[in-house]
Amino acid sequence: MTKLYHHDPLRTVAVGSLPTTSQSALGAPTSPVDAVTVNRAMDTDKGRLQISKSLSATSGNTKQYFTRFVSPGLNQTSIAANTWNFAFACNTNIATSNFPVTADLGTQVHVTVYVWRPSTGAKVADIFDGTSSGTTFAEPSALSTIKSEFGTFTGSAVTCQIGDVICQEIYFSCAPTQAATNLYYYDGTTETNNTNTTVTNHASYIETPETLSFVTSQTKLYFHAANSGLSNLPTTEQSTLTKTNNVDALTVNRSMDTVKGSAVASLSFNLIATGAQNNYYGRFVSPLLLTDVFGTTINANTWDYCFGFNESGSADNFPCTGANQSVYVNCYVWETANGTKLGTILDGNSDNNFDEDPGTGGNNLFDRGTFKGAAVSSITNTCVIVMEIWFVVSPTTTADVDAFKYDGTVDTTADMGTQASPASFIGTPQRLAFSGFGTPQTVLIEWEEA
């Protein structure tokens, strides 16, 4: 089964666009809480702290639109027909608001769930857009009290593509007879799979008995040429490796964040010796982490590591020697409050899924691979993620130049595909958020598969 929990951070996609109008059979809402252009996240992780959306309903305000939630990109080509669950919490201050349903006229809610294709900016098909099943939803039994709601709807089968997303619009068709304040609650930690139970910190969601597969990265950190604006960052490399050569000075801290670049940059090394060597290219630092959104632990996960490169010739053995090889990774969490390393995600070899240029060299290629990251706990809002770029190589020539390429505009190239403007990055399936430099950077950017 798969549960998709509703979250407050915004969702965007690396390529294409998400809905900007309501796709419901109810039509355009009259007084939406969120603008219909807003797309918030839903994923398989529970939230941290309950959020509410408040709608000031007037008599006759039958189209009550709260917001839209969007899943990560799908990693499958069909969704099966199933009976889905819909669990949420709500509150109203006046009985005649008839929210979320009118108890004496039936206990069903309107449900709008559909598949959207970002690459074309269009709806693929409805999973369900209509009245829920049975008579399981009800008006809250106590006014101004947060009550749970739980029911089902019958979802249709949908043929989709990798990278499509599931959307749910929180849109109720009610029959208020006087002004009222209606609230929808989500992003909490507690599930309540029944109706009319008093709840706190509620985790609202939709659920299908099917196990859905999603593209890997929920948080992608793109590398940038610009320096980080933070203080108390590393002034020397933090790896257990002994450096042979370096490209950037060890005091340089470049930035990485959830936004792709605009122009490709290079860190290039002129080979000066043959034989085994540990070459340090540079360091990239994230914005400050926001623990209120994801908690105080970076989970143990398989991370994506995707980058552009160019080796002048096959004798360079860069970024590795041959196909299906590892590259070296040094990724860690740094505490800027005291200028020390808090914990290591990985200081060692990646998985064996990186490749050297299969030709004679000289190509601008995009290498996709993964590494196993350990958990790091006790994270605070003054911590950052740091990625050092290392290549352990054994060139047999000194006549060439090997370049690590990044800060470009494209990250959808297939593994070892030619790419002139690579948006190189690391990515984790965990939902992370960052404070930026004074502005919360809680946008979630998804990997669109080639």
Which two structure tokens, joined as six digits, stand for 314?
Answer: 């096959």
Helix (H) or strand (E) holding 306: strand 301-311
Cα–Cα distance for residue pair 328/323, rounded to 1 Å? 15
Predicted pLDDT at 10: 80
Q: Dump pLDDT digits (tens) for 84-141.
A: 999 999 998 887 778 887 764 457 888 999 999 988 999 999 999 988 876 677 777 7
| Helices H / strands E in the chain, number of each | 1, 29
The three-class DSSP label of residue 184 is: strand
- Taking the alpha carbons at both ends of the chain, their separation in whole angstroms is 27
444-446 and 2-13 strand pairing: parallel
Residue 91 is encoded by which pair of tokens? 């509150």
* DSSP β-bridge partners for residue 441: 434
pLDDT at 106: 56
Question: Is residue 225 classed exposed, middle or buried when 0-12, 13-18 and 19+ CB atoms within 10 A define those classes?
Answer: middle
Residue 283 in this model has a pLDDT that exceeds 50: yes
Burial of 272 (0-12, 13-18, 19+ CB in 10 A): exposed
Q: What is the largest CA-CA distance in the chain?
A: 83
**In CATH, 2-208 is 2.60.120:** yes
| Mean pLDDT, residues 372-395 taken together | 96
DSSP-derived 3-state class of residue 105: helix
Residue 199: closest CA among 145, 150, 144, 142:
145
Confidence band for 440, pLDDT divided at 50, 70 and 90: very low
What SS3 string covers 187-241?
A: CCCECCCCCCCECCCECCEEEECCCCCECCCCEEEEEEEEECCCCCCCCCCCCCC
Whether this prediction's pTM lies above 0.75 is answered by no
Better pLDDT: 47 or 418: 418
Structure token pair of residue 306: 């995707």
Quick one: residue 317, left, alpha or beta (phi over 0 = left, psi -120 to 50 = alpha)?
A: left
Per-residue pLDDT, 15: 64
Q: What is the pLDDT of residue 311?
A: 95
pLDDT digits (tens, 9 = 90+) for 239-251: 999 999 999 999 9
Domain ranges of the chain: 2-208, 219-446
Q: Which of 287, 289, 317 is nearest to 393 (CA)?
A: 317
The mean-pLDDT minimum among 32-46, 66-80, 130-144, 244-258 falls in 130-144
Residue 436 binned pLDDT confidence (cut-offs 50, 70, 90)? low
Q: Which residues contact 62 (CB under 8 A, 6 or more apart)?
A: 173, 174, 175, 176
Per residue in 144-170, pLDDT (tens digit) is 889 889 989 999 999 999 889 999 999
Between the CA of residue 363 and those of 357, 390, 393, 420, what are the distances in Å?
7, 20, 18, 9
Per-residue model confidence as pLDDT tens digits over 394-415: 999 999 999 999 999 998 777 8
Q: Residue 64 to residues 109, 187, 289: CA-CA distances in angstroms?
A: 11, 20, 35
Angle (nearest 5°) at CA 294 between 16 and 196: 95
The span from the CA of 350 to the CA of 358, in Å, is 20
The two three-digit tokens of residue 90, written as one number: 């709500």
How do residues 296-333 score in pLDDT, each as one tens digit?
Answer: 999 888 899 999 999 999 999 999 999 989 999 999 99
- Distances in Å between the Cα of 127 and the Cα atoms of 153, 171, 379 are 10, 15, 39
351, with CB counted inside 10 A (0-12, 13-18, 19+), is: middle
> Are the C-beta atoms of 382 and 231 separated by less than 8 Å?
no
Other Cβ atoms within 10 Å of 113 Cβ, number? 24
Higher pLDDT, 16 or 300: 300
DSSP 104: G
Q: Which two tokens mark 203?
A: 């985790």
Q: Which residue has the higher pLDDT, 185 or 130?
A: 185
Tokens of 366: 């995009």
pLDDT band at residue 441 using 50, 70 and 90 as cut-offs? very low
**Model confidence over 414-425: pLDDT tens digits?**
788 899 999 999
What is the rounded average pLDDT for all residues in the chain?
89
CB of 419 closer than 8 Å to CB of 363: no
* CA dist 225 → 266, 276, 364 (Å): 8, 28, 18
